[in-house]
Structure 1
Amino acid sequence: MQTEEGKQIAIFAGGCFWCTEAVFTNLKGVEKVTSGYIGGTTQNPTYKEICTGTTGHAEAIKIVYNPVEIPYEDLLEIFFTAHDPTTLNRQGADVGTQYRSEIFYTTDIQKQKAENYIKWLTAEKLYNSPIVTKVSAATTFYPAEAYHQDYYNSNSEQGYCRMVIAPKLEKLRKHYASKLK
């Protein structure tokens, strides 16, 4: 999906949206990251509702990016580096379908690139277990409540942020320094 002035949208679910939002917010070419919910049946779900695991929604991020500055392939690479794509409905201590690994494509080209990237990762045997990341057509994306937006930057001293998100950001700085703002 293209927005104004050639910007594009990518939507990824990689467990806790606080974690993935913090990673992608720091990348050159990423203009906006919104935490939210996608892939379920409940209209306008709340955090409390999706935490029950009964709405079908995943915690996800919607990324508005400039493909001239950061191609979709780079976003895919960082997505697969930032979370464990081999654990079904789980990321670390977060368990439930809302924490699944899923790519919600907005164009047929994104679908093809995501499927090809997963095939490549599988062929290269970069993970010890099979990749369980689903590739699905994007449905309605519902922005999460305001207190979930830019969570890490607003709460970096909180325990979860220090123990879970900070190591992800350190890994990002170590492996992708040239792609950071």
Structure 2
Amino acid sequence: MQADGRYLYERLDEKTFQRLCNALLAHNFPETRCYPVGHSDGGRDATREVDGKLVVYQVKWTSKAQQKPAAWLNEAIAGEADNIRRLVREGARAYYLMTSVTGTAVPKRGSMDRLDDLLDKHAEDLGIPIHVWWRADIDARVDAAPDALKWAYSDMLAGHDLVHYLIHGAKAQAHDHALRKLAMNVIATQ
């Protein structure tokens, strides 16, 4: 298990982690198009347009701690190369990998810097800048997300967030149920 981030993405499965990533994208960029989970997506789990240019997001999840995360993600990019080339021909101008993998930050030697060097080579070969949202990047976006989004993926919660969910989530659900019941009563009397 990789649980070295704030959230336990290993408790999710691949499809649920993709849904979480798509929810984060949709929250931050409402114009995002999220593709169905579990379908043949051609190298794109979500897309959006920025100034008329297509930005592509691809999710890569694993339940296993990666001993060589830069190599693992490099292989993932190589495995998507044909899809990325096609997306570039179709107008893609930026490509993002969103991953549950933890990177290391040692300057010049950490997996994040090593992968950046490899990404530069891929960008040159594939004709598109490639970026990675590592586990820490996903954590930061989950931290900034509304509680409702976190609670929709409560299996990943631990510690304080889980206790908060257990206490306040039930109250929120009861409040929502009461509001629905009140609205239905109002409608019925009309």
TM-score, normalisation: structure 1: 0.37
Q: Which has the higher helix share?
A: 2
Q: Which has the higher strand share?
A: 1
Greater relative contact order, per chain length (Cα 8 Å cut-off, separation 6+) = 1
